[in-house]
Structure formats: C-alpha cells, structure tokens
A and B are shown apart, each in its own frame.
Chain A
Amino acid sequence: MSGSILFILLTTLLALLIPWILKTVIDSLKDYPSSQPMLLRYSIFLVLVSALEGVFRFYMRRLLISASRKIEYSIRNDFFSHLQTLDSTFFENNRTGSIMALISNDLDAVRNFLGPGLLNLFNTVFVFFSTIIIMFMISPRLTLYSLVAIPLLPVIVSRLSATLHSRFKISQEHYALLSARTQESIAGIKVTKSFTQENNEIDNFSKLNQEYIVKNMELAKIRSIFWPVMILVGGIGSLLVLMVGGRQVIGGSLTLGQFVQFSSYIIFLTWPLISLGWVINLVQRGEVSMGRLNKVFGLTPVIKEPASPLNKSYLNGDIEFKGVFFKYPVIKAYELYDGQSPEDKSRWILQNINISIKAGMQAGIVGFTGCGKSTAANLVPRLYDPQKGLVLIDGVDIKKISLKVLRPGISYTTQDPFIFSKTIRENILFGVEKINQSVTDNELIEKKVISVSKTAHLHEDVQQFPQGYDTIIGERGITLSGGQKQRLAIARALMTSPNILILDDSFSNIDTGTEELILQDLKKNTADMTKIIISHRISTIKDSDIIIVMDEGQITHTGKHEELLKKSEIYKNLYHRQQLAEELEEEL
C-alpha cells in the first residue's frame, strides 16, 4: 500500500511537470527568438517525462488494483468461512438470496471502493495540493481567485454524501430483497407451476423490480447532481482566472506564457474535482456495503468451540438429557439485527426431557409428528443449545467438549437429508476429514465406501448405474429416488465411523423389507456404536434396548417394546395400526 502511494506521488509530480515544460516553450516562443533545435530538445524532454510518468503509472495501477482484487478475495473467503461458523438460527432467520446478495453485490461495492476508489482518492488529493502549490509559485493572487469556490466544496460534499449514503443503503437492501425473492421463486417453482401462479409470481416480482427502480432513481438524482456541481466549482475558478488573469496580461503584470500555464493548471484542478465526485460515490456505496457485511461479520455464533475444551479426544457414547427445555430461537434478519431477540411468544418444543442412554445401546424414539423427536436429536451434535437443562455425553456437559471431538464422534442423519451436487462417492466421503493420496489408503477407502454402502443397502443400486459410484447427483438429488437418498445418507453417516449414530426417520421412504435388512446389518457391523433411531414406524425401533415415547414435547413413557405395549396407549395404537400397512407394503 505504501509503495503504491509513493508511485501515485511520483506519477503526479511528473504529470505536473508537463504544463511547466509547455509554459517554458510558449514563453520562449513569445519573448525570445527560439530556435528549432531548442524546440526539439523540449519535445524530446516532454516525451521522456511522459514515458517515465507512464512507468510509475503502470506500477501505481497494478499495485492498487491488484491489491483491491486480493482484498476482495480475502474478504470473500473470510465471509464464507465466517458464514459457516454461524448458528443454524442465523440461517433459519435469514433468506438464502439475501445472504447471497451480500457476498456478490455488496462485496463488489467494497472492492470498487478499495481499488478504483482509493486509487483516485489518493491521486485526487495529490494532484489537487501539488497543483495549488505550483499555482501559488506562479501567482498567489490568481491562485486565490481560482480557489474562491473551493470553500463551498465541504458544504456541498458533506450534504450530498449524507443523502447518498442513506439512499445507497435503501438501494442495497432492496437488491437483497429482490435476490431473496428470486431465489425462493426458483426454489418453489414446482408449487408455482402446479397452481399456475406464474403470472401472479411475475406480477409480484414486477412490483419489487419497479420499487427497485424508484429507489435507484432517488439515488440517481443525487448522483446526477454531484458531477456537474464538482465541474461547476472548478469552472468558477477558471472563469475568475480568465477574467482577472486576462486583465493582468493586458495590464502587463502577467506574461502570456504564465497565463497559458495557469489555464492548464486550472484544468488539472478540475479533473480532481470531477474525480472527487466519483470517488465520493464509490466511497459511500462501499461504506454502506461494508456496513452490511460487517453486520454479519459482527455476529458471533452462540454455539462455538468452548474456550477451554476438556481434554477428551473421543466419545465413549453415554448420552444423557437432564431437564432439557428448548424452543427454536428467533433472531432478526441481519439487516435489522441489533443483538436483541424479538419477543418470543412461541411455546416450548421440548419440556423437561430426561433421557439416559448407555454406550453401545440402541435407543428408539417414537411419537407423532411435531412431538419434538427431531428437535431432541438436534441438540446432541449441538446444532442448537437448550435454553434450560443439560445434555451430557460420557457424563460431561457437551458444551465443554470441543466441537472437533463432538461432531466427528456423532453421525446424525436428518429427516430430509441434504445431498450435494457431487458424485455418489464424494457424497459418501463427505464427512471424511482427510483423504490421503497414497495408493494403499485409496484402496482402503474404496473398500470402506463399498462396505458402508453394502450395510446401507445402497451398493446394489449403485452397481446398476452405468457410472457406478461416479454417478453425479443433480442439485436436488433428482436422479435418486427418496429411498435411495435416504440410504445414501445412511452410508454417508457410517463412513465416518462415529461412536454415536442418530438416524432421524431415515427409513420413511425405504420399504420395510429393506429396512429390516439394513437394521440387521447395522446391528452386526456397528455393535459398539450408540444408536438413536427416531421413527414413527414401530417396526424400525421395536428391537431397541430402550424406547422413548414422546408426545407434545414431553416424554410420556420409556421402556422396552413389550413393556410399552402394556404401559403406553400411544405406543399400542401406533403399533397396531402400522402392522397392517407394513405387511401390506411387504406384499407389494
């Protein structure tokens, strides 16, 4: 950075030398009988100065613009990494398209400020002051005249830029809204199409789009006045120079050469002013956008690496919930975020949950939809933290365990598993920390990929794809059926060899026959793993060591299958009704 400032300085000084050479030429032409060889010398000198200036200008540009791109690169990387540390609550309360606007549109504005903005700002300041110094050396009086309008500048600039700032903010916020709306419209296209709401979607989008124009035109008003005003301020200077300087030349107190030189410098003074207008534009926009980015940068995740994690490098697998109360936290979107949570009127999703699962056990959780089964599972790998009560693993509060120990120790397959647009192999390897390059390791990994796929009963399906494990899955995993997706998710979970395995409704799209086979293989191959299986299908969990029945956020009963059939009304009902459906499914 300091290097580039030096280059800016050198470039400016040389650029100012050129009018001085011209002045000398003109004065010599007017006052002395010049000779052709002398003119040649001046010409060559002119070209040399300009060439040298060019060299400095090259370095100046390259250094500053490259720097701005590099800064953009690191902000983008930092932003992405920061985003990944944020709590699930953040993503729950901010729209995807709006987050994406930050990393594209706002970052662009910041870079434009850092690159061309700073370049021109430095340049402007240097040119401005060095020009004034030289002008003073020629004629202090004339200089003062040419600067008459300059005091207006701070007044105009500060008033206009304040307005500019607030209007940029409105515009950038609206852009984020537009982006969010578009993103949802693409994601929900199926609903729109099946209800033939395309025209309605278009109308709604059109309204947003229209509002965006209106907001931008409010901005344009200020932007449009800025540039002409700056030129006018410079113009007033040259007008006064013409008027006063002209009279001085006529009166004989100023040479014609000095006058010409002075008019050249006035032009030098006008350009910085114009560019100042432009720079202020970039600065304001960059500042607004940086502010928006900083709002997100300023968010600290609630769930993060403990300050002094326990010296614990693996999980044994005992899980305990102690008086856990939980509801999904609500926060304001990043644009409005002020550190305070809005009033939360919702009810507890989990109320006073007490569970104890010993290492190596298989626990089943059943209950109706919305009873809190999945929410309870979310708390184990700390996607969320409970508001009251404790979750313990191996008798230790999980908040004290390093996330780098906790999460790799747990594999949690969510209800609607997210499959990435990668190959099947890459998806299975998703959670594997490091893939070593050596051949033997690769063979080992390949073997393991196949073995977990076999356990998940995915292998047979994969073999039928022409490209096998290299088959690519579309953005929404479209080439896979619901059941295949779930089995892929199970394979992915097994691949990391966790100590705790949580399967949340992972068999809902898998027929009972296959489910049974998977469960058997799981038992065989993962005997020492603590397993929590969540299902609303009794068959899935009936062989568990402990079964937990949940209803409306509370545990109603715990026990084994036979006990629960006697104790729990809910359990009994579920069991009888489902028996049929499953047997039917098997038949089909």
Chain B
Amino acid sequence: MNDMHRESFYEKDIEEKQVDRKVALKLLKYVAPYKFLMAFTVFLLLLIAGLELAGPYLIKIAIDEHLALGQADGFLRIVVIFAAVLAGLFIFRFFQQYLTEYLGQKIMYDLRMDIFKHIQKMEMSFFDKNPTGRILTRVTTDVQALNELLSSGIVTFFGDIFMIAGVAIVMISLNLKLSLVTFSVLILLAAATFIFRKKVRVSFKIIRAKISNMNSFIHEAVTGINTVKLFNREEKNADEFDELNRSYLFQYLKTIFYYSVFFPVVGLISAIAIALIVWYGGGQVIRNLLTLGTLVAFIQYIEKFFHPISDLAEKFGIIQEAVAASERIFTMLELEPKIISAQNPAKISSVRGNIEFENVWFAYDNNNFILKDISFKLKAGKSIAIVGATGSGKTSIINILNRFYDIQKGSIYLDGVNIKKYDLSQLRKHIGVVMQDVFLFSGNILENIRLGNKDISFDSVMQAAKYVNADKFIKMLPDGYETDIKERGQVLSVGQRQLIAFARALVFNPEILLVMDEATSSIDSEIEALIQDALSKIMKDRTTIVIAHRLSTIKHADTIIVLTHGRIVESGTHKELLALKGFYYKLYKYQYRLQA
C-alpha cells in the first residue's frame, strides 16, 4: 500500500493538539438559541437535586427526632412529606428528561442542516478530494455521536455538578469536621482522574477517523460491487476491511482497560471516605460529640456524593467521543468554499446571453493546463459547436463557464460582465447543462425531471417531456411519470436517460444551454432521431455551447471551434472554415463524399 494514497483516501488518524475548549465554545453556539429552554431544564435539575437531598435529610430527622427517641408524634407528617418528594421527583424528572431530549434533537437538527447547507456550497474540487463516504459520515454518524452528549450529556453534567455541590453544602452545614474528613479523599480522586484523562485522551480522535475510513471503504465497495464480483475480489476486500475494522477494535480495547480500572478506583475512594467517617465519626459518636442520625445521614450523603462523580466518569468517554466528532464536523464547516458569489454581485435582470472567453487558461491542478489561451465570442441566441478529440479540453469549457471550477488566467464574460462578478446561483440559473452521464436520483421520473422542485408543475414537466420527445416512452413505462427509478437506474437506457436530461434542462428554461453530446455520439436508432430532433428544438433561439460529434449538429451551429490539446486551432462559421481548407474542410469533404 502506498502511503500517499492512504493520506488522500483515508483520513489521518494522528493525534493533533488538543483543542477541546474551542470545540466546546463552538458547540455552545448551537445551544445558544435554546438558552431559555436550557435554563429551564437546568432549573428543573436544581429542583430534582434539591428533592433528592431532602430524602436522607428527612430520614435523619425521623431517626434523631422520632425513632431514636421513640417519639411517634409528627412521624406521619414526615412520611407524607417524603411521599410528596417522591411525587415531585417523578413529575420533574419526566419533564426534565423530555425537554432534554427535545433540546438535543433540535441542536442535532441545526447541526445536520448546517453541514448539509455547507456541503451544497462547496466547490466541485472539494468533492473530487473527499470520498462520498467521508462526507456522508459527517452528516450522519458524526452528528449521531453527539446525540448522547446533547440529549443527556450536557444536562446530566450540570445535574451532577449541582448534586456534588449541593451534597457538599449540606455536609458542611451538618458537620464541618466530618465534611473535611470526607473531602480529604478528593485529592486521591483528583490524582486518579488526572492519570485516567491522560491515558484515554489520545484514543477518541483516532477512533472517529477510523470510523470515517471504514465508511469510505464500505461506500466504495458497495458502489463498485459489480467490479468486485467480476474480479473475484470479495475475499481480498474482506481482508482489507478486516484490517480497518480490526484497527478500530484495538483502539477501543485500549480505552476499555483504563475505564475498567477507573471505575473500581472511584468505588474504592468512596469506600475509603466511608471508612474514614466510620472511624472518625464513630469515635465522635462514642464521645457523644455527634448524633447517630448525623453519622447515618453522612454515610448516605457520601454515596450521593460519589455517585455523580462516577457518573461523570462514565460520561467522560461519551464526551470525549462527541468532542472528537464535533471537531471533525467543525473542521469541515470551517472550510471556506473557494468558488463563491461576488461581494456586490452584478444585477441580472434579464440575461441576453452574450458569452466571451478572453485568453482563458485553466488547469484542474495548478500546472497541468487543460485549456490554453482560449478566446472566442458567442452572441446571444447563437450556438457554438466545439469539436475535438477526447482529452482536448472540451468538457472543461463547460465546467468553467458555470464556475464549477475557476480559471487561472484570463476572463470569461457574460453580457460583457465578468462571470466572477455575478451572484453564483443567479449565474447558474441562467445556464442549463445537459451532462454526458445523466445522474438519476432515486424517485420517480417526474421528480427526476423537476429535481424534486415542487414549484414546477406536473403539466410543465409533461410539456417539456413532450417537447423533447420523452413523453412517449415515459408513458409506456409501467407507471408512467410515477415509475420509480432506482439509484442505479437500470430501468432506462442511455438514450432515454439523455432525453430525460433534455427535459430536465428545458423545464428550468435557461437562457444559455451547455450540451454534452458525446455519450450518444455514435448511436443511431429511433431514439437517436428523437434526440437529434429534441436537441435542435431546445437549441433554437437559445445561446448554446454544444460539445458534439454529430455532423448534423456541428453543421447547424453558427460557429464551430476546433480544439486540440487545449488550444483552438480553427474557428469560424461553417463557410469560413470551409474556405480555410483545414480540418473542417476535410470534415465537409467526407460528408460530401457520402452524399455523392
């Protein structure tokens, strides 16, 4: 395996500097809109903590004032209060729990939306660099990792802290000396926690990266499943996956050891505290310096004191994992999209469709120029055909006109204004693209044509489909426009997909149309005739750049550009090029020869 490769496809799992605090602040920003709700749930927690503390205190009163003295009067009152406390706890706990879940769901909703929106904003090269599985992990699995932190973590964290503080206060008010004896063991606890934190700190970031890498691998294996089968790769793939899966397991096993040590240690420390109280407090009881009730209450409070502490320790893993996940989410959210709208975009009220390329140089990576010094003009409503061998840079012309990628040198103008000065979505709204490999979404044909945009009526979809000759075959499908197309779209042939793409382009009615006409270049059939007809219809009176192999399309274009190795070698009208007696002349000669 190549190291470079690992870096690009697999995420680095090297521990970077801890930036927990920053992440916590960013997460808090997501909590901010719900601060009142948050405050209310915290208030409920305070009530719960208070009521929880009332329990042992009531028992203390019962012992000291009634049981130890054999005093039955007023005992019933204590029982009633105890019952009221239980009822209160029940109600408050329900609301606290429900509101907390609500809070968590809301925050996760916001996060998911933000990531999804951000992804929609990123430029194409981002998608070239990041495997789909990785991006998917951010929206789904990584947000899910925050679930527990958000739905119970934050709130129980506060709850536990209140509890610890409350118990401490009650203990101090009951007996300062005993409290100090109890708190003395906290030094031990601090030391244990310090060591523990240091040991488990490293693992979680690595664990999150491993999850993401597994997801990328599965994603590729699923999308490329037929290739896997054809090349008998199943076993080897399973081995590779096993390697990823195993390294993920080992990371977890590492943390399990420390967790398994830490919990018993907390338990032991709590036992030491109780032992100290028994020894010291018991001595005080013997000397009548302390009531028995206080001692019993103290022992119970120590349990209440240590319970939230071990609870916090239990949550520590969840918190660490959530922090690691959110760090990765925020890292993605902080990537600035490189191709964005101009600050004060030029207004587009009506696009006429004049296009000009001026000395355009373009490379996908910085050195390897695909387009070299391209200049041409295209008047509104006219069409240009670009002719050239594969790899000559034809596709790139389309990719840069709607700013999927930005050019390195030169300028592209639309109606005399540099395209970088427009609002990005306004620009793209006016440029329709018919792509070579037609991507189909799961869903029916109707939704695939209008891309799930409910503003476009069924009627206009049908009209567009009729116009591009797609209506006929669609109606012949089992459920017509409602026919389900699966992700891989086996239902439709390549030609039919092409017609769907035309309908798609037409229904959005752009002023400028970019057509990739390569995939079907050599198909000749009934559907081919339909495609040709559709193409000439939608090109009519529309500024069109068409990447074509068909002679008929080429000939009908107002201007023809011949591209080789990223340079324009010939351009002009049909007549001009003929007069040139160059490439186009030869082309025409063949056509003539056939007719003769």
Contacts and interface: CB of A to CB of B under 8 A. Distances in A.
B384 interface: no
Interface stretch (B17-25, B193-201, B215-223, B344-352): B215-223
A412 interface: yes
Contact of A190 (B63, B83, B439, B442): B439
B69 to A, nearest CB: 9
A81 B71 CA distance: 73
A96 B487 contact: yes
6 contacts: A29-B286, A39-B283, A73-B246, A242-B58, A250-B75, A408-B232
Contacts of A422: 5, 9
Contacts of B215: 100, 104
Q: Is the interface of A mostly helix, strand, loop or mixed?
A: helix
Main secondary structure of the interface of B (DSSP, over half): helix
Interface string B283-300: 101100000100110011
B462 interface: no
Contacts of B67: 246, 249-250, 256, 259
Interface string B83-126: 10010011101110110011001100100110011011100100
Contacts of A77: 238, 241-242, 245
B130 to A, nearest CB: 8
B583 A55 contact: no
B234 A192 contact: no
Interface string B259-293: 11101110110111011101100110110000010
A61 B493 CA distance: 57
Contact of B230 (A80, A383, A578): A383
A76 B236 CA distance: 16
B451 A192 contact: yes
B79 A239 contact: yes
Contacts of B109: 209-210, 212-213
Of A260, A267, A404, most buried by chain B (CB within 10 Å of CB) is: A260
Interface string B198-225: 0000000000000100110011111111
Contacts of A189: 119-120, 124, 127
A256 B402 contact: no
Contacts of B549: 581, 585
Nearest to A38: B282
List the 10 shortest-distance A-B pairs measured between CB atoms, nearest first: A370-B493, A54-B264, A50-B271, A431-B231, A368-B525, A220-B101, A43-B275, A224-B97, A228-B93, A224-B98
Contacts of A85: 234
A92 B451 contact: no
Contacts, number: 479
Contacts of B9: 421-422, 472, 475
A579 B259 CA distance: 74
A307 interface: no
A277 to B, nearest CB: 11
A86 B121 CA distance: 36
B591 interface: yes
Contact of A101 (B119, B140, B241, B562): B140
Contact of B271 (A18, A99, A212, A407): A18
B279 A40 contact: yes
A178 B140 contact: yes
Q: Give the interface size class of chain B.
A: 35 or more
Interface stretch (A160-168, A230-238, A318-326, A436-444): A230-238
A43 B222 contact: no
Interface in B489-531: 490-491, 493-496, 504, 508, 518-528
Contact of A407 (B105, B224, B232, B275): B232
B390 A510 contact: yes
A416 B490 CA distance: 13
A43 B224 CA distance: 66
A195 B8 contact: no
B527 A511 contact: no
Given A228-B93, A232-B86, A588-B387, 15 more contacts: A73-B246, A179-B140, A186-B135, A190-B404, A191-B439, A195-B432, A201-B452, A239-B79, A246-B66, A256-B63, A474-B128, A481-B390, A492-B231, A577-B524, A580-B591
A574 interface: yes
Nearest to B456: A200
A420 interface: yes
B141 interface: yes
Given A57-B267, A242-B59, A180 B442 contact: yes
Interface stretch (A62-70, A357-365, A452-460, A520-528): A62-70
A359 to B, nearest CB: 20
Contacts of A580: 551, 590-591, 594
Contacts of B224: 418, 420
B527 A370 contact: yes
B472 interface: no
